[in-house]
Copies of this chain bind each other. A is one copy, B any other.
Amino acid sequence: MRLGIVGATGAVGQAFLEWLPRFELDVQELRLFASPRSAGKTIPFSGQKLRVQPVGEESFRGLDLVFFSAGSSVSEQWAPIAQRKGVLVIDNSRAFRLHPSVPLVVAGVNSSDLFAHHGIIANPNCSTIQMCVALKAVQDLFGMRRIIVSTYQAASGAGAKAMDELLNQARSFNEGTNSSGNVFPHPLLMNLIPRIDALRENGYTGEEMKLVEETRKIFHSPALKISATAVRVPVLRAHSESITVEVQRSIDLEVLRKEWEKHPGIRVMDDPAKDVYPMPLYVAGEPHTFIGRLRKDLAFENGVSFWVVADQLLRGAAVNALEIAKEWKEGGPQQ
């Protein structure tokens, strides 16, 4: 496969490069692209040093697939150009996610959607991906009626500079400063910031509405009732979610647990009395979706609550894109 990466020097681009060798994509060519500011850098890959280039009109010629993770304005400008040249785009930005002709795919959840593409496949937002991985079995077994989710999102969701900002606040803690940086509007260390992304007119943030709108699209349920609260927490790179689902049929926790345990991308860690549950400090660097704290929900006649943690850069971005690429290459979904 001839592969391109736009945004190769970013946090997700780097995660993509790190995990690429573990997917059998038979890479014959790899072109790395970034902003003019980062162009010229070299990045080691499989014993070679690859030079990062700026994106241009002819950049994608001859490629099979290009992965975009450089923000929605870059995707809006360049993805249609790749598309016109017959290069499949897997886009990690929000630019095309809700476009009716663009499949929005969580590998293993709605993989079959990807084959209806018109040249662009969208990777959902990180917090959506891990929630949908967990929700798939809930939907299949019991039918979903209503979802209420509160997130605990890591600095990594705002990029490599945001991770540096949190690290710098921790490193300077002994000096008694907890200063703001350039990425977050307030100090994040020892704090919580209950706003991620821009505000919509309905009082929800963009990050919250991504959870609502993308989940509806992934499950082909445009009327599914979902409400979300998205909060930034002082954690480096794994997102956590407290999820409550009202379902249509009577819940059997053990059936749900077994269904999760069968899923190759899910790790169930659920013995809270012995302090076994997923935690972001340990999930960082792992490609799986971790689930724990499974219990019947007390607010609904038929409902379930649980806790989901996944590495935002891997499961929430690069690994999902790589799984989509692999399923596309193999010509069929792997459920």
Contacts and interface: CB of A to CB of B under 8 A. Distances in A.
A187 to B, nearest CB: 6
Q: Give the most central of A148, A199, A277, A293: most B CB within 10 Å.
A: A148
Interface in A263-284: 272-273, 275, 277-281
Interface in A133-153: 146-148, 150, 152
A296 interface: yes
A300 B225 contact: yes
A231 B279 CA distance: 11
Given A148-B244, A229-B242, A305-B229, A190 B235 contact: yes
Interface string A163-197: 00000001101100010000001110111111100
Given A171-B174, A195-B272, A275-B195, A236 B299 contact: no
A204 interface: yes
Nearest to A303: B227
Contacts of A278: 194
A307 interface: yes
A44 interface: no
Interface residues of A, number: 61
A190 B236 contact: yes
Contact of A299 (B187, B225, B279): B225
Contacts of A195: 272, 275, 277, 293
Nearest to A155: B190
A286 to B, nearest CB: 14
A326 interface: no
Given A173-B173, A235-B192, A148 B281 contact: no
Given A292-B194, A298-B212, A186 B279 contact: yes
A28 interface: no
A240 interface: yes
Nearest to A233: B233
Contact of A225 (B202, B212, B234, B298): B298
Contact of A152 (B146, B192, B305): B192
A186 to B, nearest CB: 6
B148 A204 contact: no
A205 interface: yes
Contacts of A189: 170
B244 A178 contact: no
11 contacts: A148-B244, A148-B299, A178-B281, A187-B281, A192-B235, A202-B295, A202-B298, A204-B298, A225-B298, A226-B298, A227-B303
Interface of A: 146-148, 150, 152, 170-171, 173-174, 178, 185-187, 189-195, 198-199, 202-205, 212, 225-229, 231, 233-236, 240, 242, 244, 253, 272-273, 275, 277-281, 292-300, 303, 305, 307
